[in-house]
């Protein structure tokens, strides 16, 4: 009866013969096949293209050198060598103790082991195994018999468990140069060579090395294996994962089948089954095996935006210093004196500080710069707008008082000293806010992460630290705008109020645009730089440039008369006893105006009231106020009174030229230089 196993093997070989000719079927062999020729003998063509696995064991050259020199005549150490020699050459050694009479042929001296010699592929394993046993026994003897040569009583009899323990701890360099060691199961690392059976020539076949597998790492030369194939034949459950991917094994599937899943953009491959996210401020390396720190970004002086901001600030700073110098040099001229020069100096200082803020904002963030930023951003507008609020409030109160029919009371806090105190108080409020915020939120540097790929070095200023000082400045701006709008219809020579109004309207537009840009974008520093500088430029250009133009280009307009308006005062004179005709005559309107020439000196009780020019001129009619109260009209007589002297008279007790006369001044309109105003 035919052996079924043999019948199946023959059928498989026949199938392989057909498929190999069609090039659609290849053999995959285990390490039992390896590179053995006896397996393929007679079936070489069917086995062409087959892939086999061979235990990695390089030839041991020094063993061949020793082995091929051995001869029966010289090798007396090995008692079995003569028997091996006779078996190897199928002959008998005459005259030797181990002569085997079953061989008819006698061994001659020409025989050598080099004939048809091929070193066994597992020779390296045999040598390594012997070395392992030797090292194990040596280590055991050193441990149990220190200082004793050979076996000691502790090793008699040899304990197999202790020997195994010693073997498990053995490690040494093998004959092929690899480290020989054993894991907890007693296995050494797996190392295999991948062989490909190929047709090397006509009717000549051989195995060639096309790859290796060393302790889990596969290396394969696909071009060599499939050199005659258009497509590489693959037989895997799952393809190896690409860079940046991990294996995900579905529940219930074998470990050799997986799905490759890419890691997230901020993750790296921790192991073949795990992705791990990089910490904030770091990013995966190019090979996705770890994380590198992201370069920290901050504004640099060479960037386009900072260059534009610095140039703008420098030009503004130079212009401010120039205007300040002009105001100091011409401080006693009417155009400077009429502008409340003390308040102007405060405004110019605030403008200068606003331009300097740009340099602190653009500099690389440090703790000292963080302090200066918050001081400058809050204080520079506060200085300018506090002085402007004080100034516009003063103008508004003066104009409000001038509309009254009777001037009965002098407005309060109108002096230059009082104005400085008011401005200083408003500025101190802003300083108090800044100091309180310093205590609540001490300035320092920090890292900001607008996205997972960006890191910025900034000051730790919160929205509260920005909104609170700017909110107070906004209140000053709104107050100043209110007063500027209220005083927009002033006399022509009071056109400074109109300049202030235009300044405040423009400033409101700038800061209304600043809020959404600052809080809605990542360009906070540049936005702040340009907003502060633009506000300072508007104030400088609208309020000071016209005055500098008059001082330098139009000196003929820099006179007192250009900054005053006409003064008209009505005076009613009577004694209370005159007839209606006399009363009507004595109540004639007397016009007061400025005259350029000297007039007659008016005296009362030997006190001089007026004489020089630029004094108020009063036209009255000289009449005889006696004779029963009859008034007679006569020629006009002129008197000159200074405005301050008028205020003294108005604030004193009723003034009379005679006990029967009562003089009443009704102020209907007066407008003089601001320095002379109440």
When pLDDT is averaged across residues 263-273 and rounded to a whole number, the result is: 90
- Please, are residues 519 and 470 in contact by the beta-carbon 8 Å criterion? no
Q: Is the pLDDT of residue 245 over 50?
A: yes
Measured from the Cβ of residue 618, the count of other Cβ atoms closer than 10 Å reads: 23
pLDDT digit string, tens, across residues 25-45: 677 878 888 878 788 888 888
Q: Is the pLDDT of residue 11 over 60?
A: no
Q: Is the pLDDT of residue 314 over 90?
A: yes
Q: Is the pLDDT of residue 327 over 90?
A: yes
DSSP string for residues in 605-657: TTEEEE-SSSSEEEEEE-----TTT------EEEEEE-HHHHHHHHHSSPP-S
| pLDDT at residue 349 in the model | 95
183 falls in which pLDDT band (50, 70, 90)?
Answer: confident
| pLDDT at residue 671 in the model | 33
The mean-pLDDT minimum among 240-244, 314-318, 454-458 falls in: 240-244
- For residue 308, which of 490, 483, 540, 533 has the smallest C-alpha distance? 533
- Please, are residues 532 and 358 in contact by the beta-carbon 8 Å criterion? yes
pLDDT digit string, tens, across residues 343-371: 999 999 999 999 999 999 999 999 999 99
CATH number belonging to domain 4-56+190-225: 3.40.50.2300
| pLDDT at residue 180 in the model | 86
22, with CB counted inside 10 A (0-12, 13-18, 19+), is exposed
When pLDDT is averaged across residues 195-206 and rounded to a whole number, the result is: 84
CATH number belonging to domain 245-293: 2.10.50.30
pTM over 0.75: no
660 falls in which pLDDT band (50, 70, 90)?
Answer: very low
| pLDDT at residue 495 in the model | 58
Residue with tokens 């907003």: 531
When pLDDT is averaged across residues 587-608 and rounded to a whole number, the result is: 38
| pLDDT at residue 518 in the model | 85
| pLDDT at residue 459 in the model | 92
Distance, CA of 516 to CA of 527 (rounded, Å): 10
| Gyration radius (Cα) of the chain, Å | 57
- For residue 189, which of 66, 354, 55, 91 has the smallest C-alpha distance? 55
| pLDDT at residue 156 in the model | 85
Mean pLDDT of the chain: 76
Distance, CA of 622 to CA of 586 (rounded, Å): 10
pLDDT digit string, tens, across residues 465-512: 888 999 999 999 999 888 888 876 665 445 577 788 888 889 889 988
pLDDT digit string, tens, across residues 269-284: 998 889 999 999 999 9
| pLDDT at residue 344 in the model | 92
When pLDDT is averaged across residues 128-146 and rounded to a whole number, the result is: 90
| pLDDT at residue 36 in the model | 80
Q: How many percent of the chain have pLDDT more than 70?
A: 73
Q: How many percent of the chain have pLDDT more than 90?
A: 25
| pLDDT at residue 490 in the model | 62
Q: Is the pLDDT of residue 426 over 90?
A: yes
| pLDDT at residue 249 in the model | 83
410 falls in which pLDDT band (50, 70, 90)?
Answer: low
Give 17 or 253, the one with higher predicted confidence.
Answer: 253
Q: Is the pLDDT of residue 622 over 70?
A: no
The mean-pLDDT minimum among 76-90, 163-177, 570-584, 638-652 falls in: 570-584
- List the 592-594 sheet strands across, edge first: 592-594, 616-621, 636-641
| pLDDT at residue 122 in the model | 80
Query: Which run of H or E residues covers position 214?
Result: strand 204-214
Give 434 or 234, the one with higher predicted confidence.
Answer: 434
| pLDDT at residue 567 in the model | 43
| pLDDT at residue 491 in the model | 58
pLDDT digit string, tens, across residues 376-407: 999 999 999 999 999 888 877 877 665 554 45
The mean-pLDDT minimum among 158-172, 429-443, 495-509 falls in: 495-509
Distance, CA of 531 to CA of 502 (rounded, Å): 17
The mean-pLDDT minimum among 186-195, 245-254, 310-319, 564-573 falls in: 564-573
143 falls in which pLDDT band (50, 70, 90)?
Answer: confident
Q: Is the pLDDT of residue 100 over 50?
A: yes
The mean-pLDDT minimum among 207-211, 328-332, 647-651 falls in: 647-651
- For residue 653, which of 642, 664, 643 has the smallest C-alpha distance? 664
- Kindly state the tokens that stand for 433: 């806010």
Measured from the Cβ of residue 62, the count of other Cβ atoms closer than 10 Å reads: 9
Q: Is the pLDDT of residue 677 over 70?
A: no
| Topology at the third CATH level for domain 304-399+411-494+524-562 | Rhopdopsin 7-helix transmembrane proteins (1.20.1070)
Q: Is the pLDDT of residue 70 over 70?
A: yes
Distance, CA of 357 to CA of 511 (rounded, Å): 16
| pLDDT at residue 557 in the model | 83
- For residue 453, which of 652, 654, 636, 265 has the smallest C-alpha distance? 265
Distance, CA of 603 to CA of 637 (rounded, Å): 13
| pLDDT at residue 624 in the model | 36
577 falls in which pLDDT band (50, 70, 90)?
Answer: very low
| pLDDT at residue 276 in the model | 93
| pLDDT at residue 409 in the model | 60
């Amino acid at each position: 009866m035919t052996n079924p196993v043999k019948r199946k093997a023959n059928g498989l070989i026949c199938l392989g013969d057909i498929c190999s000719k069609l090039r659609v079927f290849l053999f995959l062999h285990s390490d039992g096949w390896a590179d053995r020729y006896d397996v393929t003998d007679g079936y070489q063509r069917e086995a062409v293209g087959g892939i086999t696995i061979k235990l990695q064991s390089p030839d041991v050259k020094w063993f061949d050198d020793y082995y091929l020199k051995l001869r029966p005549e010289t090798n007396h150490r090995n008692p079995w060598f003569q028997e091996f020699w006779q078996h190897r050459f199928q002959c008998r050694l005459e005259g030797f103790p181990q002569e085997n009479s079953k061989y008819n042929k006698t061994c001659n001296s020409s025989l050598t082991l080099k004939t048809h010699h091929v070193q066994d592929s597992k020779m390296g394993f045999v040598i390594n195994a012997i070395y392992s046993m030797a090292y194990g026994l040596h280590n055991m003897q050193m441990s149990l018999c220190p200082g004793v040569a050979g076996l000691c009583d502790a090793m008699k009899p040899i304990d197999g468990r202790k020997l195994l323990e010693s073997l498990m701890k053995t490690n040494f360099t093998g004959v092929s140069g690899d480290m020989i060691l054993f894991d907890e199961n007693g296995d050494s690392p797996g190392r295999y060579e991948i062989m490909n059976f190929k047709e090397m020539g006509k009717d000549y076949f051989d195995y060639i090395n096309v790859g290796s597998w060393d302790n889990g790492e596969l290396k394969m030369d696909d071009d060599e294996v499939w050199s005659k194939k258009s497509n590489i034949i693959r037989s895997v459950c799952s393809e190896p994962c690409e860079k940046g991917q991990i294996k995900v094994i579905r529940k219930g599937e074998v470990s050799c089948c997986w799905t490759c899943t890419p890691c997230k953009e901020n993750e790296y491959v921790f192991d073949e089954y795990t992705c791990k996210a990089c910490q904030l401020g770091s990013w995966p390396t190019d090979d996705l095996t770890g994380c590198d720190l992201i370069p920290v970004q901050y504004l640099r002086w060479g960037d386009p935006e900072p260059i534009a901001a610095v140039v703008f600030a420098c030009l503004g700073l130079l212009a401010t210093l120039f205007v300040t110098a002009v105001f100091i040099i011409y401080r006693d001229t009417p155009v400077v004196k009429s502008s409340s020069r003390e308040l102007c100096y405060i405004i110019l200082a605030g403008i200068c500080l606003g331009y300097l803020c740009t340099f602190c904002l653009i500099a690389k963030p440090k703790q000292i710069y963080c302090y200066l930023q918050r001081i400058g951003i809050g204080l520079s507008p506060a200085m300018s707008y506090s002085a402007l609020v004080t100034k516009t409030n003063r103008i508004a109160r003066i104009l409000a008082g001038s509309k009254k029919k009777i001037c009965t009371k002098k407005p309060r806090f109108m002096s230059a000293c009082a104005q400085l105190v008011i401005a200083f108080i408003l500025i101190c409020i802003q300083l108090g806010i800044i100091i309180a915020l310093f205590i609540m939120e001490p300035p320092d540097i920090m890292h900001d992460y607008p996205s997972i790929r960006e890191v910025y070095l900034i000051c730790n200023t919160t929205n509260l630290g920005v909104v609170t000082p700017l909110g107070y400045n906004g209140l000053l701006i709104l107050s100043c705008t209110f007063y500027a709008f209220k005083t927009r219809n002033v006399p022509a020579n009071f056109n400074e109020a109109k300049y202030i109004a235009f300044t405040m309207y423009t400033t409101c537009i700038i800061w209304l645009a600043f809020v959404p840009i600052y809080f809605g974008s990542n360009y906070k520093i540049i936005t702040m730089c340009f907003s502060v500088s633009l506000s300072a430029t508007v104030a400088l250009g609208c309020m000071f440039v016209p005055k500098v133009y008059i001082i330098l280009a139009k000196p003929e307009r820099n006179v007192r008369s250009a900054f005053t308006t006409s003064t008209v005062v009505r005076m009613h004179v009577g004694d209370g006893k005159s007839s209606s005709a006399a009363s009507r005559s004595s109540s004639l309107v007397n016009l007061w105006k400025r005259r350029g020439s000297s007039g007659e000196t008016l005296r009362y009780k030997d006190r001089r009231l007026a004489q020089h020019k630029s004094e108020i001129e009063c036209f009255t009619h000289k009449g005889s106020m006696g004779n029963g109260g009859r008034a007679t009209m006569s020629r006009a007589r002129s008197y000159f009174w200074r405005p301050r002297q008028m205020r003294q008279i108005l604030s004193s007790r009723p003034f009379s030229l005679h006990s029967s006369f009562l003089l009443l001044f009704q102020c209907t309109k007066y407008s003089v230089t601001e320095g002379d105003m109440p």
